[in-house]
Amino acid sequence: MKQGYHHGNLRQALVEAALKLISEHGPTGFTLSEAAKAADVTPAAVYRHFAGRDDLIAEVARQGYDIFAALMEFAYNGGKPSALAAFEATGRAYLAFARKYPGHYMAMFESGLILNTHPDLALVAQKARNVLERAAESLSQHLPEGKRPPASMFSAHIWAMSHGVVELFMRGAPGAKSPFSPEDLLEAGIGIYLRGLGLLRPDS
Nearer to DNA, 17 or 185 (CB): 17
Nearer to a copy of itself, 93 or 165 (CB): 165
Query: Which of 44, 136, 53 has its CA nearest to residue 94?
Result: 136
> What does the chain come to in residues?
204
- 72 torsion bin: left (phi>0), alpha (psi -120 to 50), beta (else): alpha
Select from 5, 119, 145, 146 the one that contacts DNA (CB under 7 A): 5
CA distance 145 to 47: 55
Q: Contact at 8 Å (CB) between 35 and 17?
A: yes
Give the binding range for DNA (CB under 7 A) out of 2-10, 60-68, 130-138, 146-154: 2-10
CA distance 57 to 109: 12
CA distance 155 to 138: 11
Give the binding range for a copy of itself (CB under 8 A) out of 42-50, 51-59, 67-75, 158-166: 158-166
Q: At closest approach, how far in Å is the CB of 59 from DNA? A: 13
Nearer to a copy of itself, 41 or 102 (CB): 102
Select from 5, 112, 119, 201 the one that contacts a copy of itself (CB under 8 A): 112
Q: Does 47 bind DNA (CB under 7 A)?
A: yes
Q: Does 10 bind DNA (CB under 7 A)?
A: yes
